């Protein structure tokens, strides 16, 4: 279901464990979208950081100093429903593409 909003949502995906510096990078992106892309009258942009794992106290401390509206969530490939997992490239294909610095049409991300 799509819920229309009057704001941009900036999503950043990190493959590893959450690190506080990831939040600084996301804050930068949200600030840039607000300054360069957001239209007058729109609500401020929101940032969502999705990472492989997170340590709740570390996330809480990092968010405490955040100047932008952001959230942190974690994911695991294995917890995806089978249909979604089948539609995505394998973790090995993603890793190989990242190591080579290229992604082919057959490795759609």
Tell whether 91 and 41 lie within a shared domain: no
- If one counts the domains in the chain, the total is 2
Reply yes or no on whether the pLDDT at 105 is more than 70. no
Residue 109 has pLDDT above 50, yes or no: no
In whole angstroms, what is the distance from residue 92 CA to residue 67 CA? 36
Residues 71 and 84 in one domain: no
Give start and end residues of each alpha helix (H) in 15-55.
20-36
**Tell me: the pLDDT tens digits for 35-90?**
999 999 999 999 998 887 888 888 888 888 777 788 888 777 677 778 877 777 77
37/9 same-domain check: yes
The closest of 98, 92, 31 to 67, measured between CA atoms, is: 31
- Check residue 37 and report its DSSP letter: T
Same domain assignment for residues 40 and 56: yes
pTM: 0.65
More confident residue, 109 or 31: 31
Q: Which pLDDT score, from 0 to 100, does residue 31 have?
A: 93
Same domain, residue pair 59 and 97: no
Reference 23, options 52, 66, 61; nearest CA is 66
**Same-domain pairing of 70 and 87:** no
Residue 99's domain spans which residues?
78-109
């Amino acid at each position: 279901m799509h819920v229309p909003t009057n704001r941009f949502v900036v999503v950043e995906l990190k493959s590893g464990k959450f690190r506080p510096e990831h939040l600084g990078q996301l804050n930068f992106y949200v600030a840039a979208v607000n300054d360069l892309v957001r239209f007058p009258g729109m609500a401020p942009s929101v940032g969502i950081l999705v990472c492989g794992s997170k340590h709740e106290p570390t996330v809480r401390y990092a968010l405490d100093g955040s100047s932008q509206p952001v959230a942190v969530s974690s994911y695991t490939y294995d917890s995806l429903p089978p249909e979604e997992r089948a539609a995505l490239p394998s973790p090995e294909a993603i890793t190989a593409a990242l190591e080579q610095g290229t992604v082919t049409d057959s490795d759609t991300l």
